[in-house]
């Protein structure tokens, strides 16, 4: 989707603001949100592409006006709702109840088997590669990013669409987010790192010598040099010529 999350190349956000001695989490609630996200995704209640798309669907003003872990909370609430795990009514009812009572620590509910399993998963990871495929492009091949504007999830940033680049790396087949975020399975596709010259992306406003490298799936690309021509109308030449001849004869 052409969402607010697709920020590459936008202007007007001002300088990058850094915090001195920034803590890992700014408040305990951020810590809990981080943990809940890993614990629910780690059990397969939803996948990484689904949660990314869930966050992308935040209202643009809310997205830009809220902090990072607020994005995670909003994304978590939405995806758990869509997966039938937690409804917004349940959350609102619980909020009303919490407002009416003095805050107290949550009673712990422990499950050491789950804790061990998720603790190990942090170190094991969850690879998205699905083996060597049959690459259409080799390193060094010239490609162009297709023009695309899907309303659903995609990992093809707007700022590279239509741009020409060169294949820098040929990776393996990877889970295809555009399908995986929408319950259409993994549909693995070849993944490439594509190098774009700054001048190709930004034209006369490019800042200087440089390149941007973007990881793109095969179906986002077409061979460069391929020019999409307007399809010629099929004009039945011979019959027309024949008709003219006949007309001439009749005169």
231 in contact with another protein (CB under 8 A)? no
Single out the residue of 29, 82, 185, 240 in contact with another protein (rule: CB under 8 A).
29
Distance CA 47, CA 153 (A): 13
Query: What is the Cα Rg of the chain in Å?
Result: 26
Q: Give how far the C-alpha of residue 45 lies from the chain's centroid of Cα atoms, to the nearest Å.
A: 19
Query: Least distance in Å: CB of 140 to another protein?
Result: 17
Tell me whether residue 109 or residue 251 sits nearer to another protein (CB atom).
109
Q: Please list every residue from 90 through 109 that binds another protein, using CB under 8 A.
A: 90-91, 94-95, 98-99, 102-104, 106-109
Tokens of 110: 């422990």
Q: What angle do CA 104, 109, 115 make, to 5 degrees?
A: 130
Distance CA 95, CA 85 (A): 17
208 in contact with another protein (CB under 8 A)? yes
Tell me whether residue 24 or residue 231 sits nearer to another protein (CB atom).
24
Distance CA 57, CA 78 (A): 9
Tell me whether residue 13 or residue 230 sits nearer to another protein (CB atom).
13
Q: Please list every residue from 55 through 74 that binds another protein, using CB under 8 A.
A: 55, 64, 67-68, 70, 73
Q: Are 55 and 5 in contact (CB under 8 A)?
A: yes
10 in contact with another protein (CB under 8 A)? yes
187 in contact with another protein (CB under 8 A)? no
């Amino acid at each position: 989707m052409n969402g607010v999350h697709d920020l590459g190349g936008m202007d007007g956000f001002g300088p990058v603001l850094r915090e001195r001695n920034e803590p890992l989490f700014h408040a305990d609630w951020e810590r809990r949100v981080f943990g809940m996200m890993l614990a629910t995704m780690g059990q397969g209640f939803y996948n990484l592409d689904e949660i990314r798309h869930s966050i992308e669907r935040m209202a643009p003003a809310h997205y830009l006006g809220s902090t990072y872990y607020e994005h995670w909370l909003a994304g978590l609430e939405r995806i758990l709702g869509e997966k039938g795990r937690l409804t917004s009514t349940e959350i609102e009812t619980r909020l009303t109840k919490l407002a009416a009572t003095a805050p107290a620590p949550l009673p712990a509910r422990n499950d050491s088997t789950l804790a061990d399993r998720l603790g190990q998963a942090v170190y094991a990871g969850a690879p998205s590669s699905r083996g060597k495929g049959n690459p259409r492009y080799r390193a060094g091949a010239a490609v162009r990013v297709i023009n695309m504007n899907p309303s659903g999830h995609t990992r093809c940033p707007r700022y590279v669409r239509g741009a020409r680049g060169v294949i820098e790396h040929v990776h393996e087949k990877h889970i295809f987010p555009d399908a995986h975020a929408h319950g259409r399975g993994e549909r693995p596709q070849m993944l490439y790192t594509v190098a774009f010259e700054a001048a190709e992306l930004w034209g006369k406003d490019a800042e200087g010598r440089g390149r941007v490298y973007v990881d793109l799936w095969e179906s986002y690309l077409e061979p460069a040099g391929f020019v999409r021509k307007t399809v010629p109308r099929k004009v039945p030449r011979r019959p027309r010529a024949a008709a003219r001849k006949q007309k001439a004869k009749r005169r």
